[in-house]
Structure 1
Amino acid sequence: MTTAVFPGSFDPPTYGHLNIIERASRLFDKIDVLISVNPDKKCLFTEKERFNMISELTKNYKNVTVHCWNKLVVDYCKQTGAKVLLRGIRNSMDFSYEFDLSLLNKSLDSDVETLFVPTEQKFFLIRSSSIKEVARYNGDVSAMVPPVVAEELRKKYCQKAD
């Protein structure tokens, strides 16, 4: 059984993330969506909120499971026996960053291979930071995130305004 790990902060989960998950679910026996928990990174959503959103969005994929992890991604791969890391890329800047990261991961565990999955063109401009900025000012994010995420963004920013 081939397991692929798709790590990320998913703050928030986007249609671009879901596109990678959906396509990968057809290529691999099992996909572990790995929500990276880094206490040094300031996220809008808590670990539990991100877990709940991704779990809801992937519930119809029988071969996709969602996990939270607060260590190195390659350590997760070692623990689970996964040999493939999936990384979504939108442009050459993403590729440059992800390529360097793949070299680091390879130096940490030579058994883990990184596969780059270019996002579909309609998702090129979707960035979590841009989504949060648009949502902060009550803009329409419906083309960038699923309805459940748009609602959570609305609630989060309404709370901050109070």
Structure 2
Amino acid sequence: MPGICLFPGSFDPVTLGHVDVIDRALDLFDQLVIGVGVNSGKVAMFSVEQRVKWFREIYRNEPKVSVYSYEGLTVNFCRQVKARFILRGIRYVSDFEYEKAIADMNRRLDHEVETVFLTCSPEFSTVASTLVRDVIRHGGDASQFLPEPVISDLASLGSEGLKAKVEG
């Protein structure tokens, strides 16, 4: 499937599950654009800029990957970056039902854009940003779920800095 693919999400925070899906998708597409979506209806734990920075650090040596933030409809961002494909990771059947509804809507909005689903590797099936945020919020060690740049940044905050970030 040659072409440009967009992997959209909030990625709050970036997890090893996200990295797994991206790494496995690299062989499928000519270019992979990671789109960090801005959702005004949600209060994020980490800034959009921070999430973009993490991905740029993780993929600094991968010329096929570019990272941007975006607002609005994903299909509109696809047009902007000339992506013909949207990549979505699936952990469970319930993920598929939700993601299929979004894929169907995107297809109705732009019939040129196709959604591709990749199931995550079994060791990452329980890794969800929501759960990782809860571990972080409650002072647990989330390092087993996070890529190194995220771990380093969280460690640099220290426990007091992280507590202030979580409460702020």
TM-score (norm 2): 0.90
Instruction: Output the aligned Cα RMSD.
Output: 1.6
Residue by residue over 1:7-41, the C-alpha shift from the partner in whole angstroms, topping out at 9 and shown as x without a partner, is 00010000010011111112111000000011111
Alignment partner of 1:70 is 2:66: no
Report 1:80-95 matches (<5 A).
80-95=81-96
Tell me which amino acid in the other structure corresponds to 2:59. Answer: T
Tell me which amino acid in the other structure corresponds to 2:87. Answer: L
Unaligned segments of structure 1, at least 5 residues:
none
Residue by residue over 1:56-88, the C-alpha shift from the partner in whole angstroms, topping out at 9 and shown as x without a partner, is 111121100001101111001122321100000
Identity %: 35
Which residue pairs with 1:111 in the alignment?
112
Structure-2 separation of matches of 1:101 and 1:114: 9
Which residue pairs with 1:147 in the alignment?
148
Instruction: After TM superposition, give the deviation of residue 158 of structure 1 in Å.
Output: 3.1
Q: How many pairs does the alignment contain?
A: 162
Bigger shift: residues 71-80 or 98-107: 71-80
Structure-2 separation of matches of 1:60 and 1:93: 34
Instruction: After TM superposition, give the deviation of residue 48 of structure 1 in Å.
Output: 0.7
Structure-2 separation of matches of 1:129 and 1:84: 25
Structure-2 separation of matches of 1:133 and 1:28: 33
Bigger shift: residues 86-95 or 38-47: 38-47
Structure-2 separation of matches of 1:92 and 1:78: 29
Structure-1 separation of matches of 2:17 and 2:69: 20
Which residue pairs with 1:96 in the alignment?
97
Instruction: After TM superposition, give the deviation of residue 138 of structure 1 in Å.
Output: 2.1
Which residue pairs with 2:48 in the alignment?
47
TM-score (norm 1): 0.93
Which residue pairs with 2:129 in the alignment?
128
Contact 1:5/1:77, CA 8 A, preserved across alignment: yes
Instruction: After TM superposition, give the deviation of residue 150 of structure 1 in Å.
Output: 2.5
Residue by residue over 1:128-155, the C-alpha shift from the partner in whole angstroms, topping out at 9 and shown as x without a partner, is 1111111122212121001321243452
Tell me which amino acid in the other structure corresponds to 1:82. Answer: A
User: 136, 159, 162: which is aligned to 2:164?
Assistant: 159
4+ long deviations beyond 2 Å: 150-162
Unaligned segments of structure 2, at least 5 residues:
none
Bigger shift: residues 105-114 or 39-48: 39-48
Tell me which amino acid in the other structure corresponds to 2:41. Answer: D
**Is the partner of 1:79 in helix, strand or coil?**
helix
Structure-1 separation of matches of 2:5 and 2:47: 24
**Is the partner of 1:149 in helix, strand or coil?**
helix
